[in-house]
Structure 1
Amino acid sequence: MESGGALRRITSQISGVVTRFIEGPEAHDRTDRLAHKYLGSERFEWTMPGEQRVAVIVRPVKVRHIVGVERFRPGGPRPAS
């Protein structure tokens, strides 16, 4: 917690150019590796029968970090008007 009880948050916006699409077994393998890294499971357990995975490789062109210390609004962020 920051002083005054405010919560610190960091938002990142990344824009870029798609350089490659990965489909088929290689895309499923990538999903399984991410599940192992972040969930501790050997496979991504929520794949539905017949589901096809696609990994999109993006070359970043612009990266923007926004660091804020304001409180989160109750109920989450509101859409921009």
Structure 2
Amino acid sequence: MVDRFVEGAEAHAMMDRLARKYLGSERFEWLMPGEERIAVIVRPTKVRHIVGVERFRPGGPVPAS
């Protein structure tokens, strides 16, 4: 279920935060001139646990080396 859409500066800030977390860079560097960023916030309606799948460690997943 879509909870909300985020546009503009807030959407760019979300991309920068993800770039810091997963790419190790301060900003998302692959924006094209004139590109507009839209983030879709999704709220799950059902969560299913699959037996045999390892849970993430506290603090989140560790990037591959």
- Is TM more than 0.5 here? yes
Gaps of 5+ in 1: 1-16, 69-81
1:28 alignment partner in structure 2: 12
Q: How many angstroms does 1:36 deviate by?
A: 0.5
Name segments (4+ residues, structure 1) moved above 3 Å. 64-68
Gaps of 5+ in 2: 53-65
Q: How many matched pairs? A: 52
Which one scores higher on RCO, CA 8 angstroms, separation ≥ 6? 1
Q: CA RMSD in A?
A: 1.5
Q: How many angstroms does 1:19 deviate by?
A: 1.1
Q: Quick one: distance in 2 between partners of 1:35 and 1:25?
A: 15
- CA offsets, 1:3-38, max 9 Å, x none? xxxxxxxxxxxxxx1111000011001000100110
**Bigger Cα Rg:** 1
Q: Quick one: distance in 2 between partners of 1:52 and 1:65?
A: 36
